[in-house]
Amino acid sequence: MRFEEGKLVSAAPWGPSIETGWSDEGWNARFPGLTFLQLLFGFRSVDDLLHAFPDASIDSSSTREVLNALFPTKPSSIGFEEEAV
């Protein structure tokens, strides 16, 4: 992700690949399995995930700050309204 003047100006796929031998060198945050979804949807904070999942990690305080800013915890629910018959 690239930011200019506090705004996201571009984003590109990046991560381990066949070309890099699936190395995760240079990654700043790691979340096992589907745990990132809990952060994405505001169910848990970064600190919650780091406490609950020992294999989750964040390499720098700046990465932690960005994740906290992008994904604040908030109440959420998925509700389905019944269709009128």
Predicted confidence at residue 54, as pLDDT, reads 93
State if pTM tops 0.75: no
Task: Give 46-75 as a DSSP string.
Answer: HHHHHHH-TT-EE--HHHHHHHHHHS----
**pLDDT tens column, 20-30:** 676 666 668 88
With pLDDT > 70 as the criterion, what percentage of the chain qualifies? 75
The residue behind tokens 């109440």 is 75
d(CA 58, CA 77): 27
Domain regions of the chain by residue span: 27-72
Are residues 8 and 1 in contact, defined by beta-carbon separation less than 8 angstroms? Answer: yes
Going by pLDDT thresholds of 50, 70 and 90, the confidence category of residue 63 is: confident
